[in-house]
A and B are shown apart, each in its own frame.
Chain A
Amino acid sequence: MPSLPDMTTPDVVALAERAAASQPHDPHLEDVDLRPAFFDWLCRMGDNTLILGHRISEWCGHGPVLEEDIALANTALDLIGHTQMWLGLAAEVEGEGRTADDLAFLRDAMRFRNLQLLELPNRDMAVTLMREFLFDAWHFEMLTALCGSQSPRVAEIAAKALKEVSYHLERSSDLIVRLGDGSEESHRRMQDALDRLWPYLGEMFVEDAVDKAVAEAGIAPRPADLRGAWEQTVNEVLEEATLASPDTRMDVHQGGKQGRHTEHLGYILAEMQFLQRAYPGASW
C-alpha cells in the first residue's frame, strides 16, 4: 500500500514543488515536437489506472468475502496512486498549468484515453477479476519494459508501480486458476467472463501515431512487442484454470486510446466528476 501523505503538513503544494525540483533532468519534457504525443500517451497510462481503479472501487463493502473487500480496496488504492503519478507527469509535460486533478475531473469522455476494456461494468466478480487479470498481465509487461525507458521520469514511475502491479498479477492469476478450476458454477462464470471480454483485448496491442512517436523517442515499447509475453502468461494461467481461449477475434472493439468510448464511460465520469463540476473552483 502506498504511504499516505502526511496530513499535518500545511503546504502540500510547496512539498510537491520541492519534490519536482529534485527530479532527474529529463530532456523529453522539453521536446516541443514530441509534446502532444507524449502528453496523450501519459494520459493513456493514467486513464487506464484511473478508470480501472474506479471500477474496482465500486466493490468497496460489497465483496464476496472480507479478505476480498480488503484486497479490492487495496488494488484500487494502488491504481489511484499510479494515476496521480501518470497524470501528474502528463500535466507537467503539457505545461498549461493544469494538474492531475484537472485532467481527471475536468476532461469529458472524448478526451479520455483509457482502453475500452477497463470501462465496462463490473457485473459479477468473475468479470471483475478476469478483466483485472487480462489487464494486469499487460500492465506488468508494459511497466517492466518502461523501467528501461529513456525518459528517467517515466522509468521512475514505472519502477514504483511495478512493485504493486507484480502483486496484482500474482493475486489475480491465482484467483483465475482457483475459480476456473473450482466448482461447476465458478468455472462457467469465469469462461463466460473471458468470452465477454475477449473482443476488447486487441486494443492493447494496436499501434497508432502516438505509440509510434513515443516508441521512436525511446520512451515506451511498441504495443505489438508486448503481445508475445502477454500471451504466454495468459495462456499458462488459462490452461491451469481449465479455461479455453475463444477462437474469435480479439480486436473487435477499439478506439478508447483515441477517445472513442463505449456508452459506459460517460456514466463513470458523471459520477466521478460530480463535485468538481457542481462546485467549480472550490478546494477540497
Chain B
Amino acid sequence: MYAQMVKSEGMKSAEEMTPEERAFQNRIDRNEKIEPKEWMPEGYRKTLIRQIGQHAHSEIVGQLPEGNWITRAPTLERKAILLAKVQDEAGHGLYLYSAAETLGVSRDELMEKLHSGAMKYSSIFNYPTLTWADMGAVGWLVDGAAIMNQVPLQRTSYGPYSRAMIRICKEESFHQRQGYAIMMKMAQGTPEQKEMAQDALNRFWYPALMMFGPSDKDSVHSAQSMAWKIKMNTNDELRQKFVDETVPQAEYLGLTVPDETLRWNEERGHYDFAEPDWNEFFEVIKGNGPCNRERLEARRTAWEEGRWFREGLMAYAEKSAARRKAAPHAAE
C-alpha cells in the first residue's frame, strides 16, 4: 500500500451535511464515478490530492531501491525484466500525477512538496536493497502488498484515480510474479543463494506489513475516506489478507516467515501473526529510516541537476513559438 496515514477530514453525519454534500454522498453510495469537472467537497478534493500524490511519489522513489541492482543484475534476462519493471513504476508515477492534475495541482507543485518533505512516500522505500534476493523480496512482498490495496482501489469513487488503478494493476501482477520467480530460483539455489533469500524475507517481512499503515484502532483518518470510497478497506483487513496469501507462498519456497507466533487460527479462518514494531514505523515516517536521507537526496539531486535540461526544453519551445508567430506560414 503506497498511501499510509493520509490525513482526511472529520466524518460528517447526514444531518451535518449541506444539501450539496448529501447529494454528493448519495452519488458515491450509488457507486457513481466522480469526474474532474463535477462539484465535490473541498475535503474530498484535498484528501484525494494527498493520497494520489503520496502514491505517485512512492512510485518514483520506489524506482531507487530496485534501480540499485539494474547494473548488477546477474543475467541479461533478469536485467531486461528489472528494467521493464522499473520503467513501469515510472509510468505509474506519470499516470498518478496526471490523475492528481485533474484535481487542480500540478506535477511540479507535488514534486516541490516531496522535495521539501511536506509530502511523504511509502515507508517501505526507506529500506535498503542489500543482495540480489532483495529484488525477489521487493517484487513478491512489496508489489504484493501494493496489489492488495490497489485492486480494490480500481473501484474507488474518483474516475481518473480509478482508471489509473486499472492500468496499474495490470502491470503489478507481473511485478509480483517476477519477484516470486527470483525468490524461487534463490530458494532452490546454492546454500548461499538460499541464505540470501531467507535474509531478504527476514528484513522485508515487517516493513511489508507496515505498508498497510497503523492498526485500525490507531488509524484516525479512515472513516471519512471510507465513506467517500477513497479508501476501500481498513488497514487491518488488508494486512490480514496479505498475511493469509503470503504465508503459504513462503512455505512453498521453503522459507521461514520471521514470526514465531505465526499460526493458523481454525476458528477465525485466518493466520494469527505478530504486529510489526510500530515505533520503528513512526521513526521511519519521521525520517529516521535506514535510507530516508539518501532517497530524498537522490530525488532532489536528480531534480536540481535536471533543471538546465528542463529549462533548455522550455527555452526551445518559446523560441519556436515565437518563430511560428513571426512566420506563420513558413513551416506549413
Contact = CB atoms under 8 A, between A and B. Distances in A.
Contact of A70 (B74, B77, B94): B94
Nearest to B60: A66
Nearest to B97: A66
A125 B309 contact: yes
Interface in B181-198: 181-182, 185-186, 189-190, 192-193
B93 A271 contact: no
Nearest to B131: A275
Given A66-B93, A186-B309, A61 B78 contact: no
A58 B310 CA distance: 20
Interface string B83-104: 1101100110110010000000
A264 B186 CA distance: 31
Q: Majority SS of interface residues in chain A? A: helix
Nearest to B81: A4
A68 B94 CA distance: 11
Interface stretch (A97-105, A146-154, A227-235): A97-105
Interface stretch (A32-40, A79-87, A212-220, A247-255): A79-87
B189 A182 contact: no
B278 to A, nearest CB: 29
A282 interface: yes
A60 B312 contact: no
A17 interface: no
Nearest to B61: A61
A276 interface: yes
A64 B63 CA distance: 14
B308 interface: yes
B105 interface: no
B301 interface: yes
Which of A7, A182, A271 is most buried by chain B, counting CB atoms within 10 A of its CB?
A182
B94 A65 contact: no
A77 B308 CA distance: 26
A73 interface: yes
B70 interface: yes
B60 A61 contact: yes
Given A178-B312, A186-B311, A77 B76 contact: no
A284 B185 contact: yes
Interface stretch (B4-12, B154-162, B313-321): B313-321
B2 to A, nearest CB: 16
Which of A4, A87, A104 gathers most chain B CB within 10 Å? A4
A104 B76 contact: yes
A125 B308 CA distance: 10
A80 B76 contact: yes
Nearest to B180: A7
Given A125-B309, A181-B319, A284 B132 contact: yes
A274 interface: yes
A282 B193 CA distance: 8
Contacts of B75: 101, 105, 284
A63 interface: yes
B50 interface: no
B316 A84 contact: no
Given A66-B60, A66-B93, A185-B312, A84 B189 contact: no
A114 interface: no
A11 interface: no
B86 A60 contact: yes
Contacts of A178: 312-313, 316-317
Nearest to A281: B190
Interface string A37-66: 000000000000010001001101111111
B257 interface: no
A67 interface: yes
Interface in B258-314: 298, 301-303, 305-314
A62 B313 CA distance: 18
Nearest to A188: B308
A272 interface: yes
B80 interface: yes
Nearest to B190: A282
Nearest to B186: A284
B64 interface: yes
A1 interface: yes
A272 B307 CA distance: 30
Nearest to A61: B63
A22 interface: no
Contacts of B33: none
Contacts of A182: 311-316, 319
A67 B71 contact: no
A173 interface: no
A186 B87 contact: no
Contact of B94 (A61, A66, A274, A276): A66
A181 B63 contact: no
A181 to B, nearest CB: 6
9 contacts: A65-B310, A68-B306, A77-B83, A178-B313, A179-B309, A179-B316, A182-B312, A185-B311, A282-B192
Interface of B: 60, 63-64, 67, 70-81, 83-84, 86-87, 90-91, 93-94, 97, 107, 132, 174, 177-178, 181-182, 185-186, 189-190, 192-193, 298, 301-303, 305-317, 319
Interface of A: 1-2, 4-5, 7-8, 50, 54, 57-58, 60-70, 73-74, 76-77, 80-81, 83-84, 87, 100-101, 104-105, 124-125, 177-179, 181-183, 185-187, 189, 271-272, 274-276, 279, 281-284
Given A61-B64, A179-B312, 7 more contacts: A57-B71, A62-B67, A65-B310, A67-B94, A101-B75, A189-B308, A271-B72
